Amino acid sequence: MDGRWELEQVHAIAPSARAIEAAEPLAAPGQWLTTGCDDRLVWGRVRGGRAEPYDVAVHHVDVVTTCTCASRQRPCKHALALLLAWVRGDVPTAPPPASVARWGAASRPPPESDDRPAAPDPRPSPPAPPAPIDRHTRDDRIARLREGLVALEQWLDDRLRLGLADPSVARYATWDDLAARLVDARAGALANRVRRVAGLVGVGDDWHAAVLEELGLLHLLANAALRLPDLPDHLADAVGLATGWQVRQADVLAGVPETDRWHVLGRSDTREDRIEVRRCWLRGERTGRWAMVLSFAAYQQALDRSLPVGTSFEGDLHRYPGDGLRVLVGRRVGESAASRPEARTLAAALDEIGRAVAQEPWLDRLPATVRASLAADGRALTDGSGSVRLVADDRALRVLTVAATEGPLTLTVEWVPAGLRPLTLHLADRVVDIGPTADPSFVAAA
């Protein structure tokens, strides 16, 4: 194929010799689920350490790369591996998928103002080495994060040594001071977890067990974050996001999009500290993959209502690294009413959720669409495979009780450690949004 690089050109754009060494095992054809190339682009999906493969693309004329992994090294080892396979003739010629073609067109730099035609170049020259990475800024941030994590570990040791009966546990300042230190260390997600644990103290007869469970998860996350450089890529991504590592939206939107018809199946609002948080759960019609769109509102601000439950659209989602659920919405076309979703048994849904939690024990919300009946006491869902406790307010339970008189219910639910929280009731002719609200003025029925 004209324009194919030489091996030396791949080595020229690699940030280091170690990066090439890491890419070599991934360059084998058996590692790739799909690959393809044309006169401008090379693309593929490669198996990684997480459940979902990484999407990789390279514009080999303009020398631009993208990958859905969270590596801060560019080009990452997946892009280098794809180029190595390409120069060795292991990538077939094929027309690019629409999402890759759009990325290739968007990544191309604007033409020069000189009107004279450029002389054709039969082979691109080896690209110049990339600009040096600003390691001072990165190292400073990692050092600040490490200080906060060490402080968290010491604080947890003190709590276990003194016990939960210690009077300081009941003082909010005990928890708030730690949360403030974590915010200073750029570990905002851990700070939010600490404040949520503080809200459990003294609530209910078994609050000690609930607090101890949360402290165990904090200890797990702190230990994992202290070992970030040694973790596999997918786990490092997930731990980084769980501790509060920020990813720029521009970097997320620069990745290869996932194109599908997306059905908005559920909405869940919560209040975290002084911020209202909305989670919209979407599911791809063709891929069956779930996605979560987060929006925030502070004080008198309004939450985003651009994704009403019961609608669908053809378009692109851009996934954040790590957990594989959080996304940003890109191009949207062809909005319409969503079709009734495919439902699963309780056992099948919980089996999938269990596998996800086994990989990332700090996950506390996962979606599912199930078909089940309301138990006689109205406090659980049940089918032939078992029963699960419902976590719902009186308003949602009243809606479910009325609908259950017609038979089994099709529900989109949100798994939380306490059980299943109903979000949407899917009827034959409409959907009813019964998810929790942080804004009492929100209209729940659609």
Residues in Cβ contact with 427 at an 8 Å cutoff, skipping those fewer than 6 apart: 403, 410
Residue 444 lies in a domain: no
* Domain co-membership, 370 together with 324: no
Question: Is 356:317 a contact under the CB 8 Å cutoff?
Answer: no
**Same domain? 183 vs 149:** yes
Residues 82 and 161 in one domain: no
Instruction: Let me know if residue 446 belongs to a domain.
Output: no
Residue 213 maps to a domain: yes
140 & 236 share domain = yes
Write out the residue range of the structural domain in which residue 34 sits: 7-107
CB contact at 8 A, 446 and 309: yes
Asked if the structure places residue 249 within a domain, the reply is no
Report yes or no on 118 lying in a domain.
no
pLDDT at 351 over 90: yes
Evaluate whether residue 417 is within a structural domain. yes
Which residue in this structure is represented by tokens 């990538």? 91
Q: What percent of the chain has pLDDT over 70?
A: 87
**Position 230 confidence tier, pLDDT thresholds 50, 70, 90:** confident
298 in Cβ contact with 278 (< 8 Å): no
Tens digit of each residue's pLDDT (9 = 90 or more) over 216-225: 999 999 998 8
User: Burial code of 113-126, b = ≥16 C-beta within 10 A, e = fewer?
Assistant: eeeeeeeeeeeeee
- Give the domain CATH number at 297: 2.40.50
* Residue linked to tokens 């290739």: 104
pLDDT tens for 265-321 read: 999 998 876 778 899 999 999 889 999 998 888 766 778 889 999 999 999 999 887
The single residue listed with the structure tokens 């034959």 is: 428
Q: What is the pLDDT of residue 47?
A: 79
Q: 28-53: per-residue pLDDT in tens?
A: 888 899 999 998 899 999 877 666 78
- Whole-number Å distance between alpha carbons of 410 and 391: 16
Q: Where does a domain end: 181, 208, 243? A: 243
How far apart are alpha carbons 231 and 6 in whole angstroms?
33
Q: Tell me if 126 is assigned to some domain.
A: no
Local structure of residue 197 (DSSP, 8 states): H
pTM of the model: 0.66
Q: Which tokens hold the place of 70?
A: 């969270």
Instruction: Return the pLDDT at 117.
Output: 42
For residue 80, which amino acid is it?
Answer: L
Token pair of 57 as six digits? 């693309």
Identify whether 115 is part of a domain.
no
Residues facing residue 37 across a β-bridge: 42, 93
pLDDT at 69 > cutoff 60 = yes
Nearest by Cα to 277 from 303, 310, 309? 303
**How many independent structural domains does the chain possess?**
4
CB contact at 8 A, 233 and 56: no
Q: How far from 28 is each of 46, 85, 92, CA to CA, in Å?
A: 10, 7, 14
Q: How far apart are CA 43 and CA 34, in angstroms?
A: 8
Write the DSSP symbol of residue 22.
Answer: H
Question: Using CA atoms, how far apart are residues 71 and 191, in angstroms rounded to an integer?
Answer: 24
Q: Looking at the structure, do residues 303 and 364 belong to the same domain, yes or no?
A: no
d(CA 192, CA 182): 9
Average pLDDT over every residue of 321-343: 85
